[in-house]
Structure 1
Amino acid sequence: MKAIAIKQYGGPEVVEYLELPDPKVGPDSVLVRVRAAGVNPVDWKIRDGHLDGVLDVHFPLIMGWDVAGVVQAVGGAVTEFEPGDEVIGYVRKDAVEHGTYAELVSAPVRTLARKPAALDWAAAGGLPLAGLTAYQGLVKALRVKAGETVLIHAAAGGVGTLAVQIAKALGARVIGTASERNHAYLRELGAEPVTYGEGLADRVRALAPDGVDAAFDLVGGGAVGVSAELVADPRRIASITDYGVVALGGHYLFVRPDAADLTELGRLADEGKLTVPVASTFPLAQAASAQALNAEGRTRGKIVLLVD
């Protein structure tokens, strides 16, 4: 099969388009023919070696954790899926080696759910990691409820866009930080936009004089500190970038594969409550260019690799 892999850590120059052996299918896994693979910041951070201290890595390393595709074969213990099923997955395994930037991937059933019918392949491929991050942060860490006000930092980004929609589906009021060029976009999603930067806490209080019930940091910097000024209970602050939130009593979130959570995201999509804006698509062979665009951090929505 064709795959995007690296043989050592480094920048975009180490990314190769290779012919590699088809993956083996274990008893609790299925073989997925990949139609789309989302590109996420963690992909190029692994490539650069930034996560070497926490992840067991083996070379050659096929990159990617997001997938949307069609089941080709099932392992001996699998009863959840059968060949021909369309699935999505956040295929993070215990070791980083056999990723989703490939024509085929062997995926444990615990990482998969059925593809939402409402999403095309590109949108489906961009949903899993970002969608699970948003869902697990809002529902499991922050426990956002109807009628509450939640502040989402970097609300127009890949995770933020989904977090806004999920929070709205939960019945919450959403205040989202973004640059002014993205304010109209956030209003379309149902959020109340505020410009990030110095004076943010005052701008949020102008919209919510009593502060907010919960805050979700997707950008880092001083977002956790601002959140602490606005949230009465520090247990209602979560961050995916700043581990210092734990010292305040909040939650540091590293997203986990979860079939039930993926299924719930699919339900929201099929009910018209969740869309996945796709900023750009690239063919598999141009994965290095897709990662470079992702690393710029200025795209609105998801960057996705399409696999023929």
Structure 2
Amino acid sequence: MRALGYRSWGKSDKLEELHIPIPSLASPHDILVHVKAVGLNQADAVKGLGYSRLLETIRLPYVIGHDYSGIVSAVGASVTDFSPGDAVYGFSMRAGAAAEYLLLSPKFKHCISKIPGNLSFEESASLPVSIHTALRAIQQLDGMSGGLEGKTVLVTGGLGGAGSMALQLLKPIFGAGKVITTLSTAKIPLLSTVLGEGLVDQIIDYTTTDVIAEAGPGTFSSAVLGP
């Protein structure tokens, strides 16, 4: 099958089309997905450089892609929640999604769910890592601060992957009272176009303004979310 990845560690100019065997089910808990779309993240660039070898075992050739969407092609005998033909999306901690087929195995941490509503494969593949990162960060803040309802929260990089997801969760789901975000000058007009109105109360241009001074010392009721 065709895949996209690295035969030698380096920047994106080292990416190339790979030809590797189609994976097969190795345990009764495995799921094989015929990939329709893949989402790329900063982690793909970091792993491509080989830096993550300090923390995990990865080998060449290395296939990139953590976020994916596609159709379940085959399942192991013990899999009951998914069947061949299901439209699914999720993320794989070991990457490998930028290929025609992706094998999901319990021994490698992964997340998989059926695609909700009328989301396209492309839309679904853009979501998992960013929304999971944002949701887990907000849940941690919510637990540490006695709840975010009615409080002021600062989201840095409001149009970044995790930042944009956080902005869509804070008021509607967690009841935050005031949401402040930081953006560069050129991105400020894009916020309402991308996310609509009512999610952000204050935008601070971090390229021209001291963020803490603009928001006011002691303003934030919770920790700061990264992009």
Tell me if structure 1 keeps the 8 A contact 2:134–2:163.
yes
User: What TM-score, normalized to structure 1?
Assistant: 0.64
Higher-RCO chain (CA-CA 8 Å, sequence separation at least 6): 1
Residue 35 of structure 1 aligns with which residue?
A: 36
The amino acid across from 1:132 in the alignment is H
The amino acid across from 2:226 in the alignment is L
Q: Does 1:101 align with 2:102?
A: no
Against the structure 1 CA distance between its residues 211 and 64, is the aligned structure 2 distance closer, same or farther, given a 3 Å change threshold? same
How far has the Cα of 1:166 moved from its partner? Answer: 1.2
Residue 135 of structure 2 aligns with which residue?
A: 135
Residue 111 of structure 1 aligns to a residue in which SS?
strand
**For the pair shown, which has the larger CA radius of gyration, 1 or 2?**
2
Residue 179 of structure 2 aligns with which residue?
A: 174
Tell me if structure 2 keeps the 8 A contact 1:137–1:216.
no
Tell me if structure 1 keeps the 8 A contact 2:40–2:65.
yes
The amino acid across from 2:167 in the alignment is V
Residue 156 of structure 2 aligns with which residue?
A: 153
User: What TM-score, normalized to structure 2?
Assistant: 0.86
State the aligned residue count.
212
Question: Quick one: distance in 1 between partners of 2:141 and 2:24?
Answer: 35
Write out aligned runs for 1:1-308 (5 A): 1-25=1-25, 26-93=27-94, 99-108=96-105, 111-143=111-143, 144-169=147-172, 170-172=174-176, 173-187=178-192, 188-189=196-197, 190-191=199-200, 192-197=202-207, 199-205=210-216, 210-218=218-226
Q: Which runs of 5+ in 2 are unaligned?
A: none
The amino acid across from 2:41 in the alignment is N
How far has the Cα of 1:125 moved from its partner? Answer: 0.3
Q: Which runs of 5+ in 1 are unaligned?
A: 220-308
How far has the Cα of 1:74 moved from its partner? Answer: 0.4
How far has the Cα of 1:179 moved from its partner? Answer: 1.1
How far has the Cα of 1:138 moved from its partner? Answer: 0.6
How far has the Cα of 1:45 moved from its partner? Answer: 0.8
| RMSD across aligned positions (CA) | 1.9
The amino acid across from 1:174 in the alignment is V
Question: Quick one: distance in 2 between partners of 1:28 and 1:81?
Answer: 11
